[in-house]
Structures are given as structure tokens and as C-alpha cells.
Amino acid sequence: MNKWLTWGLVLVLAMALVVTGCSSNPAEQGKPAGEQQAGDKKVLKWGTNAAFPPFESVNAKGEVEGFDKDLADVIGEELGVEMEVVDTAFETLFAGLEAKKFDMVIAGVTITDERKEKMDFSDPYFEAGQLIAVRVDYDEIKDENDFAGKVIGVQIGTTADELVSRMKAGEKEYEGKAIDIKEVKRYDNYPQAFLDLQHGNLDAVVVDEPVGKAYVKEHGDKVKLVSEEPFVKEYTGIAFRKGDTELVEKVNAVLKKIKEDGRYQEMYDKWFKEE
């Protein structure tokens, strides 16, 4: 009787140890972004859509690279944390931020009043705007007023998408002067839109200035810009969950520091300087 009692106690203790040992990993994996650890180092996750060169893209090694990637790395160095990238579709980035899948969005995000109602932003780290790209042999569009009767391509969920949609609907700055755009075609990323433009399925693409200029630099035999000057000016910032004030302030301090010590200019020249 005592023998069986002893073995029973041993089995109970063994099971308790197994349960205790197994419970630690799932708990760590289930933590929201910002609470996970890489050894002794805190991990901050940043969401992006790596099909937006030169801000972010995937290189031949399958790694994310670009201006925003370098910026994220510097933020990690200055804050003493490991920065982990999460590459996803642009239109899911803000929902993912709200759901705590990552701690910030660094994806060439334009700061708008509508977006500021739903999330917090860093100080602007880039000034750009929207350009119009067409095929090299196409001369029917000189500016946005020539969009009437045309098929215009944009990346879904971007400020270009919002802007062209307002043009067509005659909303906000286009109230009373709507442009009768034939169709607005939306794409998951700009490379897809530019391919459709080259194939004759679009009359024009409205695109962020750095992205449009980078594409034309590589494909100038197929695509051109109507103008080198944006027809709408915009400011880019890092997006955070509403109320994440402490992290916003820390990142703003980093942005200020790297602009003052020259590191920002080095990154800018690396990715945007025209040779």
C-alpha cells in the first residue's frame, strides 16, 4: 500500500513539473508587441509594407531594406532595444497597430488629420508629396485636371487613394470642382500599378514623390513623370497607438538627435540623393 502511495506522489510531482515547464513559452509568445524579450533585450516590433522603395523593399537576400529600415535600426540602437520588422499589406497596417501586432508603423505613412484622430504620430521625418506618372509615349495628362475620363491607378489605403477618391467624389478641397475620373483602380502595391500602366491598362499612376522618382530612375524608358514637383505636399511620420505618449516622446528625441548629429542626412543621401 505504501509503495503505491509513494509512486503516486512521484507521478503527481512529475506532472506538476511538466505543466510548470510547459506554461512559460506560450505565455511569452502570447505577449503583445513591446512586452517580448530577446534575451535581456526588449523587442519593439515595427510594421511596414516592404513594396515601397526607397522607403522599404525586399532585397535579393529576402531581407527588408530601405530608408525606413535604417531609421528603425537607429531608433533601436538609441533606445537600447531590438527592432523586429513585420512586413504586411499596407491596408492592414493600422488595424495591426491597434491590435498590438506591432508597436509602431514605419512605412512612409503620411500624417493626415483623419489618421491623427485614430493614432498618434511622431514629428515629421520626411517631406514629400504626390506625383503623376504616365507612359513615356503618353501626353494627354499635364496635371490632375486632365484626369477626367481617364483610368487612374493608386495603392489601396494610401493618401494617393484618398486624394484621387476625393477628386472623383468632389469632396473637401475638390468640393464643387469634382473631376470626372472614369475609374480609380486600386493595387496592393505600386509595382503592380506601374506594370498595369506599362501594359496600357491605366492612363496614369498617382504616387508618393520618392517612390515615383525611384521607379522612373530605374524604368525611365517606359515611364515618365508629368512633373518633378508634387501637385500636393505631404509630411511623413511614424504612427503609434493612440495614447502611447512615452514611446512617441522617446522616438521624437531620437529623430531630433539624428537630425542634429548628421546621421539623418547620411541616411537621406544613401537612399534619396540623385546622382
Digits of tens for pLDDT over the chain (275 positions)? Answer: 443 344 444 444 444 434 444 433 433 444 556 555 545 669 999 999 999 999 999 999 999 999 999 999 999 999 999 999 999 999 999 999 999 999 999 999 999 999 999 999 999 999 999 999 999 999 999 999 999 999 999 999 999 999 999 999 999 999 889 999 999 999 999 999 999 999 999 999 999 999 999 999 999 999 999 999 999 999 999 999 999 999 999 999 999 999 999 999 999 999 998 75
Q: Check: CB of residue 55 under 8 Å from CB of residue 108.
A: yes
User: Cell triple for residue 245?
Assistant: 505618449
Cis amide prior to 54 (ω within 30 degrees): yes
Question: What pTM value is reported for the model?
Answer: 0.80
C-alpha pair distances (Å), 228 with each of 59, 106, 168, 199, 237: 27, 25, 24, 23, 22
C-alpha pair distances (Å), 244 with each of 68, 92, 216: 20, 20, 38
Q: Check: CB of residue 42 under 8 Å from CB of residue 81.
A: yes
Q: Check: CB of residue 50 under 8 Å from CB of residue 61.
A: no
What pLDDT does 21 receive? 43
The residue to which cell 493608386 is assigned: 154
- Multiple choice CATH, 37-127+234-272, 3.40.190.10, 3.40.50.2000, 3.10.290.10, 3.40.50.920: 3.40.190.10
Q: Check: CB of residue 105 under 8 Å from CB of residue 93.
A: yes
Output the CATH code of domain 129-233: 3.40.190.10
For 236, the 3-state DSSP assignment is: strand
- As annotated, the residues of the chain forming the CATH 3.40.190.10 domain(s) are 37-127+234-272, 129-233
